[in-house]
Structure 1
Amino acid sequence: MLLPLVQKYKDLVHVHLYHTPDLRGLVRRYLPERINETVGLNHMKIYLADDDFVISG
């Protein structure tokens, strides 16, 4: 979803993703995807100031 934005504005867009440390090893390997999405669930917060747009969790 973010790839077109990064490709079009590569000098202006920086994407940093977070992987929760709660989901590692065997837990990550054997939990179905629908369930492992809820481990370490984050709620997005969006900040917009001047020309800066920040999405955080």
Structure 2
Amino acid sequence: DESIDGGSIIIQRAVDVKDDDTVETLASRVLEEEHKILPEAVQLFAEKRLRIEGKKVKVLPKR
């Protein structure tokens, strides 16, 4: 899938939505979490520990 954010989900994390959130404050917290999990996803890919089957992703154990 060539669309942005349109491919399989490798890692995701929940982000709290606060009562006083604006689009900007929520987007900032989401981006902060994305910056934390992106290196984890890249490492799994580099270690060949991802098996993508359609839209599902399986994380394989370390060898």
TM above 0.5: no
Structure label with greater radius of gyration: 1
TM-score range, shorter chain: 0.3 to 0.5
TM superposition score normalised by structure 1:
0.34
Q: Which has the higher strand share?
A: 1
TM superposition score normalised by structure 2:
0.32
Q: Highest relative contact order (Cα 8 Å, sep 6+), 1 or 2?
A: 2
Q: Which has the higher helix share?
A: 2
